[in-house]
């Protein structure tokens, strides 16, 4: 296909020479971890977590980086020094840290016992709740891991807040054994362990509904109809064993039917982590409860369900009617609220049960095999604002957009470029000549357990200075035709795109269209675009590419971010202009100052 007009092609440039990387200290946690590993804390009081590299959990420190080797908890200390908090330095490249006068490998950095979290109350929340933080005391610094809002009068936790770190969560310690749940200083006068036992649940529910026979129909372990200790902030959101263990407090749990806990809710938790991993983003996750579950008694009257009574004969530990989760990306300030109905004994779900406009069809990154399966947990989705309108203790993030992915498929291709001389003998222009047709598609979501982002590229087809381009229709409906937003995956909207790009010659040349199922979204591979941008806001992002600085056939592929999101590191080449790489040209995106043009 010969192009008669000069086009501007946005590219990811594969560079022959990588930026030099300073010598560093690396620790293989899978082969050299001590029995009780410490936390390595950097100068900004952040716990350094591993990343997953070729299936191995690796912690990397920069050359000369100083860290604190912390063995948190009363009476705990680093065995090698008998000191609780130790300053250490990556003095020379390798696998040792300089701790005082000793050079210690990671396997020698063992604590006397497992690191121990600190729990502290930091104020009030909602109207009746106590704000409780669970975190880590390192010298005088306190590092928060999660926050819960707990109502002590009826032992009900309204919500928990935690952060999923996309660059690290895949490197979680999967070998860690689950500890028992703990009361801490809460649930005074309540035998919580008995309350959550299946025998205890049967007694409690039978008393409430007035019949042991009816109670046994409700608490039916053969169908997974019993209450699990439903984590609000799940242990799998955290990486190291100590942080995972810190989630095992009853203030971070509520009664959740096991069929729901191990069904659609489990899928949501995993899908949220997959999103963070695939896009290499940090997600703030709010997880909470709402209203109290009711079950019909022997007279058909709906009765609220509690697992226990306290010393004053007050009902405590209510079983929630709803579980909700708000997944917020602070970088783009978008969020989606997910709500699950915690009642496998419903025969139908009424319109009143779904208290917001269900927008799950607009959320491309999260799907269930059957989100309407009542025993597994009937799921629906809201904007965060519409959830807050109903659930006052859910986060008030304002009227922000949905965290939905209208780029569920990325289309990668190799462009062949023809070198031509211009009128200016000192300049050489690159013009798009043809597309070789070697396309590869890959879903953004469910990228696989290995999370091998480099495999996103068809490495065998790449060579030096082959530009691999991607442009997507942004999820914010960047432009409209006849007042119809160009988003979504319907064939009608695809035709609108085709009509648009054909009618406005030179603005877009569509290389290939992919028709996907209606529940997914359209992504168009765009060959080029002119300076005239109209009001189109194109997001340059490779879903699933993430934060990997990976090698492709010994070439380095540089990291790319999103406009208005995480910082940019990447290489861009302007086609049709002077191709001298030392010249930084911002004309293409002069309207969008957030974009940085960096060259190899």
Annotated binding site: 261
Q: Residue 480 is encoded by which pair of tokens?
A: 């409209």
What does the alpha-carbon distance between residue 66 and residue 85 come to, in Å, rounded to a whole number? Answer: 13
**Pairwise CA distance, residues 299 & 210, whole Å:** 9
Which residues are CB-contacts of 439 (< 8 A; sequence separation ≥ 6)?
411, 412, 413, 512, 525
Q: Taking the alpha carbons of 266, 272, 278, 280 in that order, is the dihedral positive or negative?
A: negative
CB 178 within 8 A of CB 248: yes
- For the four alpha carbons of 138, 141, 147 and 151, in that order, the dihedral sign comes to positive
Residue from 407, 399, 544, 400 nearest 474 by CA: 407
Confirm if 462 and 552 have CB atoms less than 8 A apart. Answer: yes
Contact (CB, 8 A) for 410 and 439: no
231 is known as an active-site residue: yes
Question: Sign of dihedral through CA atoms 560, 427, 590, 411?
Answer: negative
Cβ pair 509, 527 in contact under 8 A: yes
Assign 3-class secondary structure to 504-525: CCCCCCEEECCCCCCCCCCCCE
Backbone angles phi, psi at 262, to 5 degrees: -95, 10
Give phi and psi for 598, each to the nearest 5.
-120, 140
- 3-state DSSP helix/strand/coil percent for the chain, to nearest 5? 15, 30, 50
DSSP state of 92: S
E-strand stretches of 129-210: 129-138, 141-151, 156-165
Q: Distance (Å, rounded) from C-alpha 545 to C-alpha 588?
A: 24
Beta strand 253-257 with 227-231 is antiparallel
Binding residues for Mg(2+): 261
User: Do residues 37 and 69 touch, judged by C-beta distance below 8 A?
Assistant: no
- At 222, give phi and psi (nearest 5°): -65, -25
Per annotation, catalytic residue among 39, 150, 231, 393: 231
Taking every pair of Cα atoms in the chain, the longest distance, rounded to a whole number of angstroms, is 94
Q: Which two tokens stand for residue 524?
A: 């168009």
**Secondary structure of residue 212 in the 3-state scheme:** helix
Q: How far apart are CA 237 and CA 329, in angstroms?
A: 15
With the CA atoms of 558, 562, 567 and 568 taken in that order, what torsion angle do they form, in degrees rounded to the nearest 10? 40
User: What are the tokens at 502?
Assistant: 């054909």
CB 489 within 8 A of CB 495: no
Could you tell me the two tokens for 170? Answer: 């895949």
Using DSSP bridges, classify how beta strands 294-296 and 118-125 pair: parallel, antiparallel or unpaired.
Answer: unpaired
CB-CB contact of 363 with 248 (8 Å): no
**Count of CB atoms situated within 10 Å of the CB of 518:** 11
Q: Which residues are catalytic?
A: 231
């Amino acid at each position: 296909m010969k192009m008669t007009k000069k086009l501007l092609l946005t590219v990811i440039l594969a560079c022959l020479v990588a930026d030099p990387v300073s010598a560093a200290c690396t620790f293989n946690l899978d082969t050299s971890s001590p029995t009780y590993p410490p936390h390595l804390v950097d100068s900004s009081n952040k716990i350094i977590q591993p990343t997953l590299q070729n299936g191995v959990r690796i912690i990397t420190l920069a050359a000369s980086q100083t860290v604190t080797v912390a063995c948190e908890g009363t009476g705990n200390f680093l065995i090698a020094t008998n000191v609780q908090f130790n300053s250490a330095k990556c003095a020379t490249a390798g696998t040792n840290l300089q701790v005082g006068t000793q050079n210690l490998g990671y396997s020698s950095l063992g604590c006397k016992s497992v690191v121990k979290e600190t729990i502290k109350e930091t104020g009030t929340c909602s109207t009746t709740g106590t704000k409780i933080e669970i975190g880590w005391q390192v010298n005088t610094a306190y590092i928060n891991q999660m926050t819960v809002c707990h109502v002590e009068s009826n032992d009900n936790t309204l919500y928990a807040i935690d952060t999923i770190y996309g660059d690290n969560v895949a490197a979680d310690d999967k070998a860690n054994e689950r500890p028992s749940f703990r009361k801490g200083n809460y649930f005074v006068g309540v035998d919580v362990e008995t309350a959550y036992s299946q025998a205890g649940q049967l007694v409690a529910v039978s008393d409430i509904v007035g019949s042991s026979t009816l109670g046994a129909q409700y608490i039916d372990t053969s169908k997974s109809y019993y209450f699990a200790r439903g984590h609000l902030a799940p242990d799998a959101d955290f990486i190291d064993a100590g942080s995972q263990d810190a989630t095992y407090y009853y203030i971070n749990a509520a009664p959740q039917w096991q069929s729901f806990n191990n069904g659609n809710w489990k899928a949501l938790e995993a899908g949220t982590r997959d999103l963070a991993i695939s896009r290499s983003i940090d997600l703030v996750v709010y997880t909470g409860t709402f209203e109290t579950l009711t079950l019909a008694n022997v007279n058909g009257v709906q009765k609220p369900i509690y697992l226990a009574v306290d010393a004053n004969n007050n009902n405590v530990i209510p079983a929630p009617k709803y579980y909700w989760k708000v997944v917020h990306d602070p970088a783009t300030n978008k969020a989606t609220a997910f709500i699950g109905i915690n009642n496998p004994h419903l025969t139908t779900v009424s319109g009143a049960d779904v208290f917001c406009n269900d927008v799950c069809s607009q959320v491309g990154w999260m799907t269930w095999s059957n989100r309407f399966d009542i025993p597994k947990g009937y799921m629906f989705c809201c904007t965060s604002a519409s959830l807050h309108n109903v659930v006052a203790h859910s986060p008030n993030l304002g009227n922000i957009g949905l965290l939905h992915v209208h780029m569920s498929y990325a289309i990668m291709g190799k462009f062949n470029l023809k070198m031509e001389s211009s009128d200016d003998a000192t300049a050489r222009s690159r013009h798009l000549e043809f597309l070789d047709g070697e396309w590869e598609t890959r879903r953004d979501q469910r990228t696989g357990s290995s999370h091998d982002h480099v495999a996103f590229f068809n490495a065998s087809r790449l060579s030096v200075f082959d530009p691999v381009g991607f442009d997507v229709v942004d999820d914010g409906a960047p432009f409209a035709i006849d007042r119809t937003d160009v988003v979504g995956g319907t064939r009608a909207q695809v035709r609108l795109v085709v009509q648009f790009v054909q009618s406005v010659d030179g603005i877009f040349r569509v290389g290939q269209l992919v028709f996907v199922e209606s529940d997914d979204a359209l992504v168009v591979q765009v060959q080029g675009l002119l300076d005239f941008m109209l009001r189109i806001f194109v997001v340059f992002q490779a879903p699933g590419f993430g934060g990997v600085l990976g090698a492709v056939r010994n070439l380095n592929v540089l990291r790319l971010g999103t406009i208005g999101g995480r910082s940019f590191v990447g290489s861009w080449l302007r086609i049709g202009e002077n191709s001298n790489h030392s010249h930084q040209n911002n004309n293409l995106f002069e309207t969008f100052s957030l974009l940085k043009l960096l060259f190899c």
